[in-house]
């Protein structure tokens, strides 16, 4: 297992649409393990393939006190309700904003072994899945905000990223 490097916004492939898996082999399980380890190392609750430089439709997540899970080729087939809550992202660390999300979703996906999943998720879990799913579509949470707020937060990120890079070089 290995901790992978996190890609910062807007570096490639974060703004690209990720491609689906047509076959789930041992490499997918290995990537899922690495992504789970990376997510835990950075105290995240979710992580998507593009965030570790893999432009494939895979994400991992873990609710507080829950078991880590992997979703491959996920599809959100139902969405209901709306709530606003604070979100952050490992690809834009230290930035937070109130993001509107559906409160109940139905998801179809495969797991890292290629088994079919079909389940409902609510509230926090639904939020994590929608956030990570957005990464597979080349979107980040500021893209879910109104134009003015998005501009302001991305401006803030530019300055913050410079600082983070400078610190990392010391």
d(CA 136, CA 13): 10
Rank residues 24 and 161 by Cβ distance to Zn ion and give the closer one: 161
CA dihedral 61, 40, 96, 135 (to 10 degrees): -40
* 67 among known catalytic residues: no
Max distance between CA atoms of the chain, in angstroms, equals 47
In the complex, the smallest distance separating the C-beta of residue 9 from Zn ion, rounded to whole angstroms, is 9
Could you say which of 39, 52, 71, 89 contacts Zn ion (CB under 5 A)?
89
Catalytic residue among 132, 137, 151, 156: 132
For the window 54-83, what string marks contact with Zn ion as x by the rule CB under 5 A? ------------------------------
Q: Say how far apart CA 6 and CA 49 lie, in whole Å.
A: 10
Measured from the CB atom, the residue of 24 and 68 that comes closer to Zn ion is 68
Residue nearest to Zn ion (CB): 89
Are 110 and 24 a contacting pair, CB within 8 Å?
A: yes
- Please list the alpha-helical segments (H only) found in the chain: 26-41, 123-136, 147-169
Tell me: cis bond preceding 10? Omega within 30 of 0 counts: yes
Return the number of the residue (99 or 110) whose C-beta is nearest Zn ion. Answer: 99
Output the smallest distance, CB 26 to Zn ion, in A: 26
Q: Which residues contribute to the site for Zn ion (CB under 5 A)?
A: 89
The catalytic residues are: 132
């Amino acid at each position: 297992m290995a901790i992978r490097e996190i890609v910062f916004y807007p570096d490639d492939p974060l703004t690209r649409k990720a491609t689906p898996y047509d076959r789930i082999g041992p490499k997918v399980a290995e990537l899922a393990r690495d992504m789970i380890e990376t997510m835990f190392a950075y105290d995240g609750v979710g992580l998507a393939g593009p965030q570790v430089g893999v432009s494939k439709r895979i994400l991992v997540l873990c609710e507080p006190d829950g078991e880590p899970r992997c979703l491959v080729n996920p599809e959100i087939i139902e969405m209901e309700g709306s709530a606003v809550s604070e979100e952050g992202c490992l690809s834009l660390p230290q930035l937070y904003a109130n993001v509107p999300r559906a409160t109940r979703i139905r998801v179809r996906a495969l797991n890292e072994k290629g088994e079919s999943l079909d389940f409902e998720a609510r509230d926090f879990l639904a939020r994590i899945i929608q956030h990570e799913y957005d990464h597979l579509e080349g979107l980040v949470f500021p893209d879910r905000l109104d134009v003015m707020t998005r501009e302001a937060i991305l401006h803030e990120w530019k300055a913050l990223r410079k600082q983070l890079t400078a610190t990392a070089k010391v």
